[in-house]
Amino acid sequence: MSLPDRAQIVVIGGGIIGCSTAYHLARDHKADVLLLEQGQLTSGSTWHAAGLVGQLRSSASITQVLKYSVELYKRLAGETGLETGWKMTGCLRLATTPDRWTEFRRLATTARSFGMEMHLISPDEVKRMWPLMDTSDLVGASWLPTDGQATPSDITRSLAKGARMHGAKLMEGVRVTGFRMEGDRIVAVETTQGEVLCEKVVNCGGQWARQIGAMAGIEVPLQPIKHQYIVTEALPGLSTNAPTIRDPDRRTYFKEEVGGLVMGGYEPDPQPLTTGDIPNDWEFRLFDDDWDHFAQHMEQAIARVPSLAEAGVKQMINGSESFTPDGNFILGRAAECANMYVGAGFNAFGIASGGGAGWVLADWVIAGEAPMDLWVVDIRRFSSLHRDRHWVCERTCEAYGKHYTVAFPHEEMESGRPRIVSPLYDRLKAHRAVFGSKLGWERPNWFAPEGAEARDLYSMGRQNWFGPVGEEHALVRSAVGVFDQSSFAKYEITGRDAERALDWICAGDVTKPVGRLTYTQLLNSRGGIEADLTVARIAEDRFYIVTGTGFRTHDLGWIVDHLPQGDVRVEDVTERWGTLSLMGPRAREVLSAVTDAEVSNTAFPFGHVREIDIAGAMTRALRVTYVGELGWELHVPLEATGRVFDALMEAGAGARLRPVGYRALESLRLEKGYRAWSSDITPNDTPFEARLGWAVKMRSNRPFLGREALEGLSGKPLKKCFAGFLVDGDTVLLGRETILRDGAPVGYLTSGGYGYTLGKGIGYGYVRNAMGVKDDWLAGGRYELVVAGETVSAELGTPPFHDPKGERIRA
C-alpha cells in the first residue's frame, strides 16, 4: 500500500491504544482513518505487556472505560475472527495487614457504588481457590470475578483487523518525522514515505509519544521505566483457570500462562530509562536480564507460592513501559496544538485500558470534547512544570514505587519538593505549617501546635491533624483566619468584545457593571459543568477570572478554545498576584485597620470587587467566600504579598487572626454546601442536577454554550439530584461511599469529610431514580451510607448544614 495524499485523521502508533482508537474511529464514526506505525504492529511495549485486565478504579468514569474494555474483548473475536486470548479468570487481591484490609473494605464499597461485583473473602476461601498459595499471613482477600487476562498482541491484531474491516488504512514501516504547521494547527504529517494532509492527528506513540508531541510543540509528560517479569515452566497443580493474583503487600502479581506463571512486581527502587528521547529503532527490544534487581520480587513471590522455588524459568521479560507522574494515563487534546490528541502513558495498564481508552478517545477526537468526565486522565491536568523532564522522572519513579503501597487518605507525594512556593512560604513555616503540593505549588494543609509533630502521620482512621484542623475551623467560624491561596489560577480577559465573548462561554450573567463579580460555571455541549469559577469585572473591557490551582491549564484551555472571534485577548496572570483570603466574622475589623478604604457592607457589598490600598500595595479585593463567613479574597501584587500579610497579622492580633490551611477550608466548605469541581460537579453533571440552577442565566434569552442542552431538559424530571448527608460518631467519610434509600443503592458520595461546628460527618452525592428525583420523593426515604463495608444511618439534608447567617457564595 502506498501512502495516501490525505486522510481525515492520522493515528500515530500501532500498539493496542492506536489500533483501538483507529477501530473505534472507523466503526463508530465512519471516519477516514490512516494509522502509521514506524515498525510493526505491537512492536513498542504492547508485545511484552503482561496482559492482566482489572477494572476497578477510584473514578466512576475510568471504571466504566475499563469495563467497556472487558466487554469488547469478550466479543471482538466474533466480529473479526481473530482470538484475543481473553479469559475471565477473576482476580484475587491479597491483604496481610489491618490497613490493607481497611483499604479493601473501602474498595469493596467503591465497587458497589460503581455497579461492580467485588467480594471480601477469608484466607481459607483463598486457599480453596488457589491451592498452591501460602495463605498463613493473610487477613483476607478481595475477589473481583469479572476481571481476567488477555494476550496483548492478539487483542491488538484483532483490533487492527476490525479497523480495516470498517475502512481504516493501517501502514507499517512508516515513521513520522515532523509536522507541517499553520499557526498552532497541523496541516500535514511528514513521514519517511512522504507527506499526508490531514484534519486531525492522534498521538498514540507509546514511549515515543513525548517526542512525537514535541514536534507539534506539546509536552507529553512520560517517563519510560524498566519493568521486569518472568514466565515459568508448568507448575504441577496449577489450574489453567486460576485467578490472577495481586499481592500488594509483597509488591507482586501473578497470572497463569500455559500451565506456568507470569510473575512480576513494582519495586520501590525503579530503574528509569533516559530522560531524553527513545531511539527510533527501539522495536521488539528488551534489556538484559537483571536478576539482582529482580531478586526482591523472587523472594516475595516464593514466600507466597513456595513451589516457585522449584520451577524452571522459561524467560525473563525486561522491557520499558511508559509511566506518568501521577499514575494515571493521558488522553485528550493538549492546549498547545489545536488538532493533536494524545492517548499514551498507560502505566502498565494499557491492556486493561486499551479497548475503553480507544472508545472514548475516538469520541473526543470527533466531537472536540470528552464524552464523559475524564478529568483524571485529561492531558490538561498538567502544566508547564511538566516540561522539566528531570522533575517528571523523579515524580514518576515515586508514583511507580507506590503502585502497590497502601493508599492512605490524603497522602501527599514527596519527590521534587518544594518546587513552587509563594512569598509567604518561610513565614508560614515559622507558623509550623505542614505543606501539601498542588500542580507544583507548596500550600499549607494545616498548622501544627507547639509540641506536636509538624508532619502528616497517615492512617485509615482519624489522622494526626484532625484536632488542630478543628481548631483552625473554629477560629474561622468565631473570629478570623487568613489563607494563603496564592496558587489560585488567574486570567485576564480584555478587549472591546470581552463582555460578549464571556457572555457566550459563561452560564452565569457576567454582563454586570464594573465592580461586580459573578460565580459561574462553564458548560459543555451536553450541559455538563466543565469549569466552576469567579469572574470579576474590573473595567468595561477587562475581566479578572479566578479558578482552582489544579485546573489552571484545563480552564484556560477551555476558555481559549471556546471564545468567539473578535477583539478579545486572554492572558494567564497567575504569577503576578498573591492571594490572601481573610475570612471570619471579624474580617471587616481586621481589614478596616489596614486600609483607608470604606469596607462597610453598604460601601462594599457581597459580590463586589474594589481596588484598595493595603500597606502601600494596590490590592484587588473580592468580596466572595468559599467558607461561608464574612470575608475577602485579597489579590496582591506578588512582590507585596509578604508585606500585606505582615500588616494583616499585626492588625489582627487582637482579633485572634492566625494562618489557616486547606484542610480547614475543606471542612468549612462542606458545612456550607459549596461544590468542588472534579468531585461534586463534573462534566457529567448539569447545574440543575447540582442544584446550581440559580447561577444560570436561563431567563435572559441570551445564547450561551450549553444552553440548548439545558433547554432540552426543561420540564423533564431529573434522573439524579445533588444531596447532602450527615452521620454521627467516628465514621470517616472520604467519598464514593454507597448511598442507600430504603435499603436500595441509589448513588454514591462524591465528597466527604467532617463538620467540626456540627460535630458530624458530612457527605455529598447524587441520588438517582430513573422515574425522577423530586423533593418529596427525596424527603420520603430512609437513608444509610455504606462505609468500608459497614452500613450507618444517615440524615438527609439540603446544604448549607451550618447556620446560614454567614455569607453565601451567590450574591
Q: What is the sign of the dihedral through the CA atoms of 195, 196, 199 and 200?
A: negative
Model pLDDT, residue 514: 98
DSSP-based three-state secondary structure for 740: strand
The amino acid that residue 431 corresponds to is H
Model pLDDT, residue 51: 77
Distance separating alpha carbons of residues 10 and 188, to the nearest angstrom: 9
Distance separating alpha carbons of residues 469 and 444, to the nearest angstrom: 11
Is residue 802 pLDDT above 80, yes or no? no
First-residue to last-residue Cα distance in the chain: 64
pLDDT tens-digit map of 455-492 = 999 999 999 999 999 999 999 999 999 999 999 999 99
Torsion of CA 28, 34, 35, 36, to 10 degrees: -170
Buried b (16+ CB within 10 A) or exposed e, 135-147: beebbbbbbbebb
pLDDT tens-digit map of 627-663 = 999 999 999 999 999 999 999 999 999 999 999 999 9
* 493 within 8 A of 547, measured Cβ to Cβ: no
Question: What does the block give as the cell for 346?
Answer: 498507560
The mean pLDDT value for 405-410 works out to 96
Domains of the chain: 6-84+150-223+326-381 (3.50.50.60), 91-146+227-320 (3.30.9.10)
**Confidence at 810, pLDDT banded by 50, 70, 90:** very low
Distance separating alpha carbons of residues 493 and 497, to the nearest angstrom: 10
pLDDT tens-digit map of 713-731 = 988 999 999 999 999 988 9
Q: What is the mean pLDDT of the chain?
A: 95
**Confidence at 804, pLDDT banded by 50, 70, 90:** low
Beta bridge partners of 751: 764
Q: pTM for this structure?
A: 0.96
What phi and psi values does residue 342 have, to the nearest 5 degrees?
-125, 140
* 219 within 8 A of 27, measured Cβ to Cβ: no
Question: What does the block give as the cell for 540?
Answer: 468595561
Question: What does the block give as the cell for 7?
Answer: 486522510
Is residue 591 pLDDT above 90, yes or no? yes
Model pLDDT, residue 809: 43
E strand intervals along 183-259? 185-191, 194-203, 223-232, 244-247, 252-257
Is residue 811 pLDDT above 50, yes or no? no
The amino acid that residue 461 corresponds to is G
DSSP-based three-state secondary structure for 580: strand
Q: Residue 666 CB: number of other CB atoms within 10 A? A: 19
Distance separating alpha carbons of residues 755 and 670, to the nearest angstrom: 7
* 373 within 8 A of 38, measured Cβ to Cβ: no
Model pLDDT, residue 803: 63
Is residue 45 pLDDT above 90, yes or no? no
